[in-house]
Structure 1
Amino acid sequence: MSSSQPNPFLLAADNSPQLLPLLRENTSLASAQDEHGYSLMHAAASYNHLDLLRALVNELHVNVDLKDEDGETALFVAETMDCAKVLVEELHADISIRGDEGKTAREKIEEEGEFPEVAVYLRIKELEGSNPQVNGVNGTPELNGIHPPPPLPDGISVNLGTMDPEEDAGEVVDPEFRRRIEELAQREDFQGEEGQRQLRELITEAIRGEMGQQRDVRRRTD
């Protein structure tokens, strides 16, 4: 990179309109990484520049799972559920990748505790992928012999028929969410259709940000 050429990482942080023309002129820059493996994918995810993420992967053919020196992909630095959804559902990021610490993106975000809605979303995608004990009878799916409740709104599909609230939800949400999910788990009908319906509603609330709305979400300033 010549000294007269703009720094693409700074342009990415600012979501500068200069960046994409620069990358189109020199496509090798799109996959460039600094001495720590930090890439434009990581920058775009960290700063929630979703259109830039789409352009990098779809137009400039950057690997959505490009790793930094810690073996972590852009998904590890996603700070909003919208960013995680773009990475996973549109760009097909691999949620099972583990960094050098042995943690997935969900596990690391969950451990740091700053963006619980992202961790909840990724946990749900893990559950969807595992698709536990789903059987079909005449095309109708069942969970442990129980017909599942109607699908979640906005195109979200989750299989939670055998979900253990403490193991599967994890330490990813605010205390009010945890209190409510533990309270629900104590009900005798928790594994029944009504209990599972209420569990879905509870997780949907967390995803939409209807709980803990007063939580102060830190925005990246560096």
Structure 2
Amino acid sequence: MATFGLGQPIQTLPPNSEIDSSTPWMAASEGNLPLLQHCIQTMGLNVNAADENGYTLLHAASSYNQMGIMQFLLSQNVNVHAVDSDGDSALHHAGTAQTTQFLIQVARTNPSLQNAEGKTALQVKMDEVNEMMQDEDIEDDDQDLEKAKEIVTYLSNL
């Protein structure tokens, strides 16, 4: 399968795929570029479209570490500083240090951008780490904790 240098195989559209209003966000979060492109074309969707909570396609891709989708959205001039209803940018939603680094270094996202609570992505991720550390079932979130710590480390070293 071709990967376009992004390390992820290209997916194809499922036969007779049904598209509804949530399909583009699902495609972005799952890394299904052909489906996302199909949705954009058939629905006349703008790459800066947001759901009822202000959650954009870039938010979805960032949350689920879909580098290929983020690269595609950047090539379509997506607004990297768009915020959801909580004032969180895609950087606030980033799921890994690699995603965080991509958003800052490639997409030129402002790491100082504050959400509606006045918190930067670093402060949000530090809160997530602290919350997970206080969780009695930490072993269930161990991988998420490590990812959040890596993001904090990266953002702290900017």
TM-score (norm 2): 0.70
Tell me what 1:73 maps to. 89
**In 2: Cα distance, 1:97 partner to 1:53 partner:** 19
Aligned to 1:121: 154
Task: Report the alpha carbon displacement of residue 5 of structure 1 after superposing the two structures with TM.
Answer: 3.6
CA distance in 2, matches of 1:23, 1:64: 18
Q: CA deviation at 1:24?
A: 4.9
Q: Which has the higher contact order (CA 8 A, sep 6+)?
A: 2
Rg (Cα) greater in structure: 1
User: 1:104 and 1:34 mapped to 2: Cα distance?
Assistant: 22
Secondary structure of the residue aligned to 2:110 is: coil
Q: Normalising by the residue count of structure 1, what TM-score does the alignment of the two structures yield?
A: 0.51
Tell me the alpha carbon deviations over residues 64-120 of structure 1, each in whole angstroms, 9 at most, x when there is no partner.
111000111000111211101110001100000000111100011011103011011
Q: Distance in 2 between matches of 1:30 and 1:121?
A: 28
- Equivalences for residues 1-222 of structure 1 within 5 A: 5-6=19-20, 7-16=23-32, 17-24=34-41, 28-57=45-74, 59-113=75-129, 114=145, 115-125=148-158
**What is the total number of aligned residue pairs between the two structures?**
121
Residues 82 and 27 of structure 1: is their aligned pair in 2 closer, same or farther, counting only changes over 3 Å? farther
Residue 21 (structure 1) shift? 3.7
5+ residue gaps, structure 1, are 126-222
Computed over aligned residues only, the root mean square deviation of the Cα atoms, in angstroms, reads: 1.7
Tell me the CA shift for residue 18 of structure 1.
1.4
Percent identical among aligned pairs is 31
CA contact (8 A) 1:12 1:19 kept: yes
